[in-house]
Structure 1
Amino acid sequence: MRHTMRKRVWINKRPLFAFILIALIISGSTLWTLSGGDPNGEWVLVTEVVDGDTIYVGRGWRSTKVRLIGVDTPETVHPEKPVEFFGPEASEFTKKKLDGKKVRLESEPSNQYDAYGRLLAYVLLLDGTHFNAELIKQGYARVIAPFPFHRYEEFRSYEREARVKRLGLWAGKDICKEIIGNKRSKIYRIPGDAGCGRIKEENRVYFDTEEEAIKAGYRRAKK
């Protein structure tokens, strides 16, 4: 008799156990949605795309601003600069590929944040695509190196290929898309200047910043 009663008590508790299990599953799903990524922090959710090279992701219960390493897309939201050529297209490409998607972030150990407090990262998609590299390959971004990073040479090779194919922001024939100096005249031009199409490839020198060009003995072209 006692054995039978114990069995009945166990049977009566089974619905309660099932209810608790379902509740845990639902709460876990809610935690994923609110945190923007899994509890282990391996993946994060892109919650907002600012422009072609800057996004917000959910990390834990907070939102983090992320600046993509090594890439610079044309400006679209800078408070002191006009919308640049191919900027809207670059922003739309990033939004289409990343907005609302789960991505993996990887950083350079020696440089994890920039001067504005933004997390510096490489962005990898679920299918393994390296998004930073993809921006350069398709002509949506130029390479920028405010600090050394281990993919620099790789990114520069992608940029050269995109430039030769005249993809995206490299489509214009005479408008400068980056800082280019002329070895013969020792004059450099910046993005938006005219005249780069007339500089022969063997005379071209590419700079990441104007300061770098000036230190190398070049002067800015007259407008």
Structure 2
Amino acid sequence: MGAKDQILRKISSEVVKVVDGDGLIVRNNLTKVEEEIRLYGIDAPELTPCRKLKQDESETQIAGALLMKMAYESYDFMRSIIKPGDQVYILQETNNLMDKYGRTLAYIELQDGKILNELMVEAGYAKAYNKIICSELPKYQQLSLNAKTNKKGLYLYVDQF
């Protein structure tokens, strides 16, 4: 992680549901409150038709149907890493706790100490996303470039998404 003084470690949580390639729902083990998590610094294609899908379609010149097909690959890849019932730690940067939709922004630390956000980008199933600033963004940008160069994950089909 970046500057340790910016990271706030929360109590461990249980995965309730994988929402898509960059989001999930967890239940805090202490309070039992469920919250939707949006992963810091990464973006995966949209699973369903929405405003963001139209925006991505326009920016990338890739058909929405192909973007949604890629979204399902990203979603399936995340579900191969993390499943309902898994225990995780939520790591947050104190200066950037929520997105504009009220979702909790976080890094997800798995039981083996790996960071889910990083794994998604490294494997090419998500890209670095600079519209939500986080301390790990430069690292994710490099991992994204490596995945693209090596045609990993979604980069097997396209040069950008």
Measured against the shorter chain, the TM-score band is 0.7 to 0.9
Q: Could you say which residue in structure 2 is the equivalent of 1:177?
A: 160
Where has structure 1 moved over 3 Å in runs of 4 or more? 78-83
SS at 1:115's partner residue?
Answer: coil
Give the Cα–Cα distance (whole angstroms) in 2 for the partners of residues 61 and 43 of structure 1: 11
Q: Could you say which residue in structure 2 is the equivalent of 1:77?
A: 48
Q: Could you say which residue in structure 2 is the equivalent of 1:119?
A: 104
Tell me if the contact between 2:40 and 2:132 (Cα under 8 Å) persists in the aligned partners.
Answer: no
Q: Could you say which residue in structure 1 is the equivalent of 2:137?
A: 152
Aligned-residue offset at 1:78: 4.3
Aligned-residue offset at 1:86: 1.8
Aligned residues: 136
**Deviation string, structure 1 residues 55-75 (Cα, Å, up to 9, x no partner):** 100022221010000111111
Tell me if the contact between 1:51 and 1:77 (Cα under 8 Å) persists in the aligned partners.
Answer: no
Aligned-residue offset at 1:97: 1.7
Aligned-residue offset at 1:42: 2.3
Give the number of the structure with larger relative contact order, counting CA–CA contacts within 8 Å between residues 6 or more apart.
2
Q: Could you say which residue in structure 2 is the equivalent of 1:67?
A: 38
Give the Cα–Cα distance (whole angstroms) in 1 for the partners of residues 147 and 159 of structure 2: 14
Q: Alpha carbon RMSD of aligned pairs, Å?
A: 1.6
Q: Could you say which residue in structure 2 is the equivalent of 1:28?
A: none
Give the Cα–Cα distance (whole angstroms) in 1 for the partners of residues 16 and 132 of structure 2: 27
Tell me if the contact between 1:139 and 1:168 (Cα under 8 Å) persists in the aligned partners.
Answer: yes
Q: Could you say which residue in structure 2 is the equivalent of 1:139?
A: 124
Unaligned runs of 5+ in 2: 1-9, 54-63
Q: TM-score by structure 1 length?
A: 0.57
Q: Judging changes above 3 Å, is the alpha-carbon distance between structure 1 residues 176 and 157 closer, same or farther for their aligned structure 2 residues?
A: closer
Q: Could you say which residue in structure 2 is the equivalent of 1:58?
A: 27
Unaligned runs of 5+ in 1: 1-40, 179-223
Identity level (%): 26
Aligned-residue offset at 1:108: 1.3
Q: Could you say which residue in structure 2 is the equivalent of 1:5?
A: none
**Deviation string, structure 1 residues 124-150 (Cα, Å, up to 9, x no partner):** 100011110110110000110124311
Give the Cα–Cα distance (whole angstroms) in 2 for the partners of residues 62 and 106 of structure 1: 16
The 10-residue stretch of structure 1 (154-163 or 77-86) with the greater mean CA deviation from structure 2: 77-86
